[in-house]
Amino acid sequence: MTDLTSLTLAEARDQLKSRAISSRDLTTAHLDAIERGKGLNAYVTVTAEKALSMAEASDARLAKGEGGPLQGLPIGIKDLYATEGVHTQACSHILDGFKPTYESTVTANLWRDGAVMLGKLNMDEFAMGSSNETSFYGPVASPWLPPNWSREQARAALADAGKRGLLAPGGSSGGSSAAVAAHLCLAATASDTGGSIRQPAAFTGIVGIKPTYGRCSRWGMVAFASSLDQAGPLARTVRDAAIMLRSMAGPDPKDSTCSTEPVPDYEAAVGRSVKGLTIGVPKEYRLDGMNPEIETLWAKGAEWLRAAGANIVEVSLPHTRHALPAYYIVAPAEASSNLARYDGVRYGLREPSADIVDLYEKTRARGFGAEVRRRLMIGTYVLSAGYYDAYYLRAQKIRTLIKRDFEVAFQNGVDAILTPATPSAAFAIGEKVSADPVEMYLNDVFTVTVNMAGLPGLVTPAGLSADGLPLGLQLIGRPFDEETLFALGETIEQAAGRLTPPEPWWA
């Protein structure tokens, strides 16, 4: 029997439907893979019993020729989605013991369509990070081997909780990306505020899409920066990502920013011709001192699309370089407001004190990690009296300009924009935990503009670096035109081929 974890989501779906395999066997194979891959630290909780009962219910439905679009398919859920009665902490200490009494809309949609929950996936604390190193539950190791490392060397590093020297799977959705790349689930939910779906996808050689702001409901997602946060999937193929997004997306009266636009059949767009599409290549993304490998890959991506019949044109997005600084005002400001709810009174950690303010301060000092504390303080500062206009209001005006840049490009006939996904391939765990937090922030330089403008962005693997590590390209689309991104993404996937990490050295 072939290993059931080697199937793509679409293949598994088709084989379940034809009754060639059962959801029980498929789910058991994944639970076994999770157990063997524990060292990667991708999961913070495994819901084996729940998974098996969902699988059995799925098999019963499939046997009757019934079942939803995801019936019987085992997936992983990022720890920031509220799942009823199951560990939901956004990998923060401050949410210790929190088990929601409700289900997020996105996960409810996935269960409605028949998906099977394997467990909750590791992430940077409150999604603040680009390497999964800020998680209270420790770092996650990528299934890709560091350059010139032997399997034995990597296994030894894996045994250590710090996992130093192994590759970061990106962040904040690092548990999701590692689990998908290592075949510990067929696909996973993730979320993206400044690049947290797309950068991990690029680092681990998989596909991720942050849809248009409002495409998925944010209800029941632990909030970071509400005007930027958006749910999306990580998967091993463009088709799999399309299947996942169709189920995750959709209107929700419980989120007033959630769109009522009907959800198209994204899978139908996979394989659609890209002939005649106009693809913009923004000159401002060609940064000074850019990694030549990234530049070559980007040119190759444009060449693949041109060969498929698309027209490549240069476009200008003049405010690009202001996006990241503006983001580091807007996102912390919103976070400082959203995270005010963690007060030691209503849920999670509580540091006892006879004085209420002291209780708040002690609880929040102990419950939040260093990166979260830092961002909350920045956010508090830029919203405080006397600084609001200089920082927050100014950043929101710049956000208008960033969005306008894209609108001009689209009005000039551009159907989508092609950019690199990240400035480099994956770095090692421990490599960037330096004194200067800004160095880590620069990871999001190509992705953050998309959140600031509320647009959809898809990252697909496009090749390997000279060191043998995955590199990705990003496609940015018009609002609610995810279909064009899936069509273009498939073209790149077909040209570049899928990237597969080394044989399971971690198991």
Q: Three-state secondary structure along 203-239?
A: HHCCEEEECCCCCCCCCCECCCCCCCCEEEEEECCHH
Instruction: Please give the biggest Cα pair distance in the chain.
Output: 70
Phi, psi of 134 (to 5 degrees): -95, 5
Q: In whole angstroms, how close is the CB of 192 to other proteins at the nearest point?
A: 14
Task: Check if the beta carbon of residue 9 is closer than 8 Å to that of residue 186.
Answer: yes
Phi, psi of 81 (to 5 degrees): -90, 130
Q: Looking at beta carbons only, is 42 or 378 nearer to other proteins?
A: 378
Q: Looking at beta carbons only, is 13 or 319 nearer to other proteins?
A: 319
Contacts of 90 (CB under 8 A, 6+ apart): 79, 80, 123, 125, 126, 127, 222
- The DSSP output letter for 262 is P
Q: Looking at beta carbons only, is 329 or 488 nearer to other proteins?
A: 329
Distance CA 152, CA 291 (A): 30
The β-bridge relationship of strands 278-282 and 416-420 is parallel
Identify the CA nearest to 189 among candidates 143, 252, 120: 120
Q: Looking at beta carbons only, is 288 or 503 nearer to other proteins?
A: 288
Q: Looking at beta carbons only, is 116 or 398 nearer to other proteins?
A: 398
Q: Is 78 a catalytic residue?
A: yes
Q: Looking at beta carbons only, is 103 or 490 nearer to other proteins?
A: 103
Task: Check if the beta carbon of residue 61 is closer than 8 Å to that of residue 73.
Answer: no
Q: In whole angstroms, how close is the CB of 36 to other proteins at the nearest point?
A: 33
Identify the CA nearest to 236 among candidates 12, 457, 79: 12
Catalytic residue selected from 92, 173, 177, 196: 196
The β-bridge relationship of strands 187-192 and 230-235 is antiparallel
Q: In whole angstroms, how close is the CB of 443 to other proteins at the nearest point?
A: 14
**Whole-number Cα distances in Å, 184 to 5, 36, 120, 121, 179:** 7, 9, 12, 11, 5
Q: In whole angstroms, how close is the CB of 477 to other proteins at the nearest point?
A: 14
Q: Which helix (H) or strand (E) holds 280?
A: strand 278-282
Q: In whole angstroms, how close is the CB of 351 to other proteins at the nearest point?
A: 9
Distance CA 223, CA 95 (A): 13
Q: Quote the Cα angle for 65-266-485, to 5°.
A: 155
Catalytic residue selected from 78, 120, 163, 210: 78
Q: In whole angstroms, how close is the CB of 403 to other proteins at the nearest point?
A: 7
- CA 268: distance to chain centroid? 23
Q: In whole angstroms, how close is the CB of 364 to other proteins at the nearest point?
A: 5
Q: Looking at beta carbons only, is 451 or 491 nearer to other proteins?
A: 451
Catalytic residue selected from 172, 177, 191, 217: 172
Contacts of 312 (CB under 8 A, 6+ apart): 279, 281, 302, 305, 306, 418
Q: In whole angstroms, how close is the CB of 289 to other proteins at the nearest point?
A: 17
Q: Looking at beta carbons only, is 30 or 210 nearer to other proteins?
A: 210
Q: So which residues are the catalytic ones?
A: 78, 172, 196
